Structure 1
Amino acid sequence: MSNQSHTQSNSISGRAAIVGLGATEFSKNSGRTELKLAMEATLQALRDAGIDPSEVDGFCSYSVDKVPEYEIARLLGAPDIKFFSQIPHGGGAACAPVMHAAMAVATGIAKTVVVYRAMNERSWYRFGSGSYGFGATPFFENVNYGWYMPHGLHTPAAWVGMFARRYMHEYGATSEDFGRVSVAVRDFAATNPNAFFYGKPITLEEHQASRWICEPLRLLDCCQESDGAVAMIITSVERARDLKQKPVIIKAAAQGLADGQQIMTSFYRNDIAGLPEMGLVARQLWEQSRLTPSDIQTAVIYDHFTPFVLPQLEEFGFVKRGEAKDFVRAGHHARGGLLPINTHGGQLGEAYIHGMNGIAEGVRQVRGSAVNQVPDVHNVLVTAGTGVPTSGLILGNA
């Protein structure tokens, strides 16, 4: 099927574009409210696109974002908002707000949609600290946590550690393999002036010497806690051609919730060495875009914890099951490799803005404006959080 005939089907592929991009600095203490951060990023994205704030008629963010769309609309002076949605599951949302925005634009529900994420998850509170007050809020998800928190599984690191240990047992991956992921993204962060760890690369030896958080995870296997905001503007491909920036086409967008899924544990599954929800996303992205792994020049792989980078490479078919360790041992994920991953430094090296800063890097790579620009980028894969219901995107040029 040709791309033209494909885009005329019910698919959203090729019908919407990211035309504006904005971000605050990334820090450990922003010194301002999350609303102010969101507004700064949104106004910057609108200026980047050359779109007046009054033209905004849609919003999409995460259900955990504390900045309501109605307040941004009021402050922008956007009078008539026709579309708004929020996506649950924390970092698993990441790519889904862009997907929802693309659907709204493709169906004519809205014309100019702002996607945003703003957070003070270092200075205001410690995200993923293990202290959640679940006992006072006995909703389903919180009661569910009661089955395993008494046994010490309190934090995201502990939950991912359980998956990682099984993956190591099944496929022979080692702590050094996880470290190779961390070393490569910190190398990219070291040359990115916007990264928190700008100028601070690490060695594999330093990774191995970093303290244990929850075996097999060391400190340098874990993403940052960050303050900051990122926003982007989505509109139709037709309109995008007349705007300031090179359009970044949304070639595919998908969400995935697989059999036996639970948040970060999935105890009902027979096998926790893979990420079937990401496999479901992968199948949809390849089908929508009519692309294959060989068509991707660079990828933004959600790196909240290094062990989950490896099975994502497998779920998308860049390597066979169990062979991601060999991929990273060969350095194919690093600077100058076959598939450079997280060229902005990722959530380990740039900032943890729940994956929204990763989508921004995908936009920059397609535009050709990334600080660690990969040559001849036509298509970029972006993934969202793993261990939870998740999402993904393929961004590219026209």
Structure 2
Amino acid sequence: MALRQAAITGVGYTPLEKRSGRSVLDLATEACRGAIDDAGLAPTQVDGVASFAVMHDSVPTQAVATTLALPQLRFSLDIDLGGQAPCHLVTQAAAAIATGQADHVVVFRALNGRSGNRVGTMQFHGMGAQHRYPIGYDAYLMYVGMFGQRFLHETGQGELDTAAVAVSQRQWAERNDRAYRRHPLTVDEYLAAPFVAEPYRGPDCTVEVDGACAVVVSALDVARDLAHPPAVVASGTYRGGPRPGLDIGDHLLWDDYTRNYTSYLADDLYGRAGVSAADVQFAEIYDCFTTTVLMGIEGLGLAERGQSGELFRSGATGPGGVFPVNTHGGLLSEGYLHGMNTVAEAALQVQGRGGERQVARHEVAVVTSGALMDGSAMILTADR
């Protein structure tokens, strides 16, 4: 859907912690209030709420509308997706605004992802999982690792390429006060870390945290009069390839472990925004693991097949580089809010509010949500 009728106008966060000591509803409310205030709005002006949950780890939109004391709720959307959701939800919020269903929609992700239910250790009950994993694994990194291992093999890349992703993103995290992991990381330190599940070492894996993040989506004509320059939703799309699955066991039906959803949506995403991959100035790519960044960069045409690792090894993606990637440190270093913070970072950069992390060229950004068989993406632009 080509939008350009809506924009991200405000961003809100809670601290990202090992143990929040708070309810998820409290976290969600704080992040949403922060985003609404950041946009220069009052809660009485907000009439839409959207969010997502993984295995019931969050709270409903109606609950947050209540704690925010919204006078009326005209648009409410709860979806049962994980990291595929943030770009998808922002796109749906923008579409709702464009069709007159709402004026301002707050989109949030909130969870106690470290002290509560942890996705990394979840047993996926309720979907026949006990009958679908005869090969001896069901933890998240194990099945994503199957894709990662094959991708690296087929493209001729390896541990120095994944190391470059982890090191580059940690360099950004050193400039990010919110980041959970801020200590410097070298290639040698990366290589010395033991494998968790090949091809992943600890630095290859996202860091689970307690916390929340929210963005406000508003009509573009209204956004121009709010507190910050609008981050325009130029296009957004969701795509699942053939047999995208009912649960993680369905990855066994996927045809090509070396490509993910980004290969399916790239042409549509760029075409509807009226841009090409060559126009993109920086990227915020979903990074539950390092290989998903490399797959996304190649799927979106931001590097040639088998050359994404070289992009990172060249220094182009880090601070001062010509093509910044994951300027908040990514989910690997800032924290695993399932990509909602990836969307928020893209908006902040387009608005010119990246602080010490601000990239020099920030008029056209691509941001993705999701790792493997299905996911979503957006083009965010400056108001031009």
What is the TM-score of this pair, normalised by structure 2? 0.95
Q: Distance in 1 between matches of 2:259 and 2:2?
A: 28
Is contact 1:285–1:392 with CA below 8 Å preserved after alignment? yes
Identify the residue that residue 201 of structure 1 maps to in structure 2: 184
Q: Distance in 2 between matches of 1:63 and 1:69?
A: 11
Q: Residue type of the partner of 1:226?
A: V
Q: Distance in 2 between matches of 1:191 and 1:20?
A: 21
Is contact 1:365–1:373 with CA below 8 Å preserved after alignment? yes
Identify the residue that residue 256 of structure 1 maps to in structure 2: 239
**Deviation digits for residues 106-157 of structure 1, max 9, x if unmatched?**
111111111000010101232220434x2xx3xxxx2256322x32221111
Is contact 1:12–1:103 with CA below 8 Å preserved after alignment? no
Identify the residue that residue 154 of structure 2 maps to in structure 1: 170
Q: Distance in 2 between matches of 1:357 and 1:130?
A: 22
Equivalent position to 1:83, from 45, 61, 75: 75
User: Which secondary structure does the structure 1 equivalent of 2:121 belong to?
Assistant: coil
The Cα RMSD (Å) is 1.5
Residue 395, structure 1, aligned to residue 380, structure 2: yes
1:281 is displaced (CA, Å) by 2.5
Identify the residue that residue 225 of structure 1 maps to in structure 2: 208
Residue 359, structure 1, aligned to residue 343, structure 2: yes
Identify the residue that residue 19 of structure 2 maps to in structure 1: 29
Is contact 2:165–2:309 with CA below 8 Å preserved after alignment? no
Q: Residue type of the partner of 1:71?
A: A
User: Which secondary structure does the structure 2 equivalent of 1:128 belong to?
Assistant: helix
Residue 41, structure 1, aligned to residue 31, structure 2: yes
Which segments of structure 1 move beyond 4 Å, counting only runs of 4 or more? none
User: Which secondary structure does the structure 1 equivalent of 2:119 belong to?
Assistant: coil
Is contact 2:220–2:230 with CA below 8 Å preserved after alignment? yes
Unaligned runs of 5+ in 2: none
Deviates more, 1:282-291 or 1:326-335: 326-335
Q: Distance in 2 between matches of 1:279 and 1:87?
A: 24
Q: Distance in 2 between matches of 1:235 and 1:290?
A: 21
Residue 247, structure 1, aligned to residue 239, structure 2: no
Q: Distance in 2 between matches of 1:24 and 1:191?
A: 18
Q: Distance in 2 between matches of 1:145 and 1:14?
A: 45
Residue 382, structure 1, aligned to residue 367, structure 2: yes
Q: Distance in 1 between matches of 2:12 and 2:95?
A: 21
The equivalences for 1:28-107 within 5 A come to 28-64=18-54, 66-107=58-99
Is contact 2:168–2:312 with CA below 8 Å preserved after alignment? no
1:329 is displaced (CA, Å) by 2.6
Residue 284, structure 1, aligned to residue 268, structure 2: yes
1:293 is displaced (CA, Å) by 1.4
Residue 299, structure 1, aligned to residue 291, structure 2: no
The equivalences for 1:290-369 within 5 A come to 290-369=274-353
Is contact 2:164–2:309 with CA below 8 Å preserved after alignment? no
Is contact 2:3–2:98 with CA below 8 Å preserved after alignment? no
1:396 is displaced (CA, Å) by 1.3
Q: Distance in 2 between matches of 1:130 and 1:234?
A: 32
Is contact 2:84–2:370 with CA below 8 Å preserved after alignment? yes
1:280 is displaced (CA, Å) by 2.2
Equivalent position to 2:166, from 182, 204, 208: 182
Q: Distance in 2 between matches of 1:352 and 1:31?
A: 17
1:78 is displaced (CA, Å) by 1.3
1:290 is displaced (CA, Å) by 0.8
Unaligned runs of 5+ in 1: 1-10
1:25 is displaced (CA, Å) by 0.9
Is contact 2:162–2:204 with CA below 8 Å preserved after alignment? yes
1:210 is displaced (CA, Å) by 1.0
1:267 is displaced (CA, Å) by 1.9
Identify the residue that residue 7 of structure 1 maps to in structure 2: none
Q: Residue type of the partner of 2:322?
A: L
User: Which secondary structure does the structure 1 equivalent of 2:108 belong to?
Assistant: strand
Is contact 2:28–2:110 with CA below 8 Å preserved after alignment? yes
User: Which secondary structure does the structure 2 equivalent of 1:381 belong to?
Assistant: strand
Q: Distance in 1 between matches of 2:373 and 2:287?
A: 13
Deviates more, 1:49-58 or 1:95-104: 49-58
Q: Distance in 2 between matches of 1:92 and 1:248?
A: 20
Is contact 1:29–1:123 with CA below 8 Å preserved after alignment? yes
User: Which secondary structure does the structure 2 equivalent of 1:267 belong to?
Assistant: helix
Is contact 1:86–1:97 with CA below 8 Å preserved after alignment? no
1:337 is displaced (CA, Å) by 2.2
User: Which secondary structure does the structure 2 equivalent of 1:90 belong to?
Assistant: coil
**Paired-residue identity, %:** 37
